[in-house]
Amino acid sequence: MSYYRISSLEQYFKHYNKSIREPRKFWGKIAEENFTWYQMWDKVIDFDMGEADVKWFVNAKVNIVKNCVDRHLARRGNKTAIIFEPNDPNEEAQHITYNELHQRVCKMANVLREQGVKKGDRVCIYLPMIPELAVAVLACARIGAIHSVVFAGFSASAVATRINDCECYMVITSDGGFRGDKTVHLKSIIDEALQHCPTVHKVLVVKRTGEEVNMTYGRDMWLQPLLDEASDNNVAEIMDAEDPLFILYTSGSTGKPKGMLHTTAGYMVYTAYTFKNIFAYEENDVYWCTADIGWITGHSYILYGPLLNGATTVIFEGVPSYPDFSRFWEVIEKHKVNQFYTAPTAIRSLAKESIDYVQGYPLKSLKVIGSVGEPINEEAWNWYNDHVGGKRCPLVDTWWQTETGGIMISPVPFVTPTKPTYATLPLPGIQPVLMDEKRNEIEGNQVVGSLCIKFPWPAIARTIWGDHQRYKDTYFSTFPGKYFTGDGALRDEVGYYRITGRVDDVVIVSGHNLGTAPIEDAINEHQAVAESAIVGFPHDIKGNALYGYIILKEHGETRDQKNLRNEINKLISDQIGPIAKLDKIQFVSGLPKTRSGKIMRRILRKIAEGDFSNFGDTTTLLNPEIVEEIKSGRIE
């Protein structure tokens, strides 16, 4: 019997129980039957949760791109692998077959090798959502270079930090990119970043906008002429199961971003398996995930998961609001999309516009609709279910993280009965537990706690690049022996999970994880600022928005507050990116602090929310009088 596909609730429980009782047999069988390997493993799993040490498919040899592309050529060579839908609806969409994708990846892989990229080297990819982004990622994986995709909305200084942290040898970028009615000038951002990046020797530039750019002699090269010269014959690197596949940065609650490292075989097996089940993908379906490849959702469920299953995956360059708010629905009709996967923030922003934008489109091709990135509120869930899913498509609310590599808790469509705002049940292999403040596991149902996972799954990140101690401290020390997600959750009377949100200092704004510490660091660089504290507060469209409490140095107090607010947001925009700008800034004379000097963010959060009831225990505050002042100066 095969475990690859769950087709009934009874079977779900059967597979789930098998995966818990005999994880080695369960994953071993899936891995053996659905992938091509150069060499099989000695052991399915080897782990020590205390040391945060996990290995899957020990000593197996494999190449993930052979499995994403080459393996399909015999049967699906002429099938469309990627549909590229440009930002401008008047620009023609591209259909790239598996044969063409193979040829393009091989050429790109040869270019990388010719430019000196070797197995294990880090390559930073800073590109808009164009086919070259997919090709660059796959070409790196094909030759064993570790890709580090940086979302093309990040500023020069944020890119530089990420390039330096993992010491990239090369950057792949473009002249610019189109997003809605804007053009983003990526090459000039890279030029600025590279003034501070001594390890970068080569920059390959894709031509997309045709704008004029500076090319540094000996370092920068246009990509196309190199591809034109390259052979399409390329021998893939033989990779160990645990060889690094990619680094992807995620915000930490303190300090610099964390370079989450994913390795090859476990990630491959888990993203393929979850894609197949969560989207009920059938051979001729067209699948579309609207995320950016710069985030984990794009890595796992635009590229790797779909391609591993020989699927047709849409890459969309644009935004939901351009040229108008019917863009998503128009694309679904145009390409007859069967599975559609997007984020609550996009749903909320579209739901507030006229219903005519969506009602003009029957959306009959849709079979499954999905949500990811943050809790989906009931109103958004219902709107999505009614107007997009037509009440006939199962809505899969998928909970997971950059660190988990793939979807962890989600309904299986046509199998698990859905419930608004609930991610429902764990996938096979996933053992969630809720923990109380005393670090005990909470048994039974109708309970709330901190969400942990108590057994490794194949796609768990293996470490933080260059800092295993931080990995251990962040994820495995709060609840010893367990992986701590940083999220709170409740388990209802039937055992369904509902994720309630972060319990640490990460705020999710429009689906983007933002650590408050780096934003505070940016603000504190302003010469007029003495200290600052950032918290999230609920926002109709973005889910959460940022509220800043800022103490000014004396000379700042005489300055025009509006100008100061603008300068502070400009600083944040330059250092991190526009997504991290503050919606509200309140200048205060002090911050509520404990005797040990910790800012009591709980109180600041409540004030930002406008909830003045029950501040909890304030007896440990050094300066309780400040609370009144902050309350009365709250920005509406």
Which residues lie near ligand 6R9 (CB under 6 A)? 250, 295-297, 371-375, 397-402, 423, 485-487, 499, 502, 508, 513
State the DSSP H helix or E strand holding residue 530, giving kind and residue range, or none if neither. Answer: strand 529-539
Identify which of residues 60 and 423 has a Cβ nearer to ligand 6R9 in the complex: 423
CB of 39: closest distance to ligand 6R9 in angstroms? 32
Identify which of residues 413 and 592 has a Cβ nearer to ligand 6R9 in the complex: 413
Please state the separation of Cα 66 from the chain's center in Å. Answer: 24
Identify which of residues 263 and 510 has a Cβ nearer to ligand 6R9 in the complex: 510
CB of 253: closest distance to ligand 6R9 in angstroms? 11
Identify which of residues 495 and 633 has a Cβ nearer to ligand 6R9 in the complex: 495
Identify which of residues 401 and 532 has a Cβ nearer to ligand 6R9 in the complex: 401
How many of the other CB atoms lie within 10 Å of CB of 310?
19
CB of 452: closest distance to ligand 6R9 in angstroms? 12
Identify which of residues 72 and 482 has a Cβ nearer to ligand 6R9 in the complex: 482
Q: What angle do helix axes 131-143 and 98-114 make, rounded to 10 degrees? A: 60
Question: Phi and psi at residue 364, in whole multiples of 5°?
Answer: -70, -20
Which candidate, 503, 509, 523, places its Cα nearest to that of 565?
523
Identify which of residues 106 and 509 has a Cβ nearer to ligand 6R9 in the complex: 509
Identify which of residues 297 and 575 has a Cβ nearer to ligand 6R9 in the complex: 297
Name the H helices within 442-597.
468-476, 516-524, 561-575
Rounded CA separation 237/119 (Å): 8
How many of the other CB atoms lie within 10 Å of CB of 169?
21
Please state the separation of Cα 562 from the chain's center in Å. Answer: 34
Assigned token pair, 443: 């048994």
386 contacts: CB under 8 Å, gap ≥ 6: none
Question: Phi and psi at residue 481, in whole multiples of 5°?
Answer: 85, -5
Q: Report the alpha-carbon angle 327-331-332, nearest 5.
A: 120
C-beta of residue 291 within 8 angstroms of C-beta of residue 304: no
Assigned token pair, 182: 């804007």
Identify which of residues 176 and 252 has a Cβ nearer to ligand 6R9 in the complex: 252
Identify which of residues 98 and 471 has a Cβ nearer to ligand 6R9 in the complex: 471
CB of 250: closest distance to ligand 6R9 in angstroms? 5
Rounded CA separation 332/289 (Å): 11
Assigned token pair, 435: 């923990």
Rounded CA separation 547/176 (Å): 32
Identify which of residues 357 and 476 has a Cβ nearer to ligand 6R9 in the complex: 476
Identify which of residues 502 and 601 has a Cβ nearer to ligand 6R9 in the complex: 502
CB of 154: closest distance to ligand 6R9 in angstroms? 14
Rounded CA separation 623/615 (Å): 14
CB of 212: closest distance to ligand 6R9 in angstroms? 35
178: left (phi over 0), alpha (psi -120 to 50) or beta: beta
CB of 287: closest distance to ligand 6R9 in angstroms? 17
Place of tokens 């516009």: 353
CB of 562: closest distance to ligand 6R9 in angstroms? 33
CB of 271: closest distance to ligand 6R9 in angstroms? 12
Rounded CA separation 317/88 (Å): 9
DSSP string covering 430-461, please? --EEEE-TTSPBPPSSSEEEEEEE-S--TT--
Identify which of residues 144 and 405 has a Cβ nearer to ligand 6R9 in the complex: 405
CB of 270: closest distance to ligand 6R9 in angstroms? 13
DSSP β-bridge partners for residue 529: 552
Round the CA-based radius of gyration of the chain to a whole number and report it: 24
CB of 490: closest distance to ligand 6R9 in angstroms? 12
Rounded CA separation 122/248 (Å): 11
583: left (phi over 0), alpha (psi -120 to 50) or beta: alpha
Rounded CA separation 542/539 (Å): 5
Identify which of residues 138 and 408 has a Cβ nearer to ligand 6R9 in the complex: 408
Rounded CA separation 323/325 (Å): 7
Any idea what DSSP says for residue 412? Answer: P
What count of residues does the chain have?
636
Any idea what DSSP says for residue 591? Answer: -
Identify which of residues 381 and 549 has a Cβ nearer to ligand 6R9 in the complex: 381
Residue nearest to ligand 6R9 (CB): 402
CB of 409: closest distance to ligand 6R9 in angstroms? 8
Place of tokens 């993908």: 281
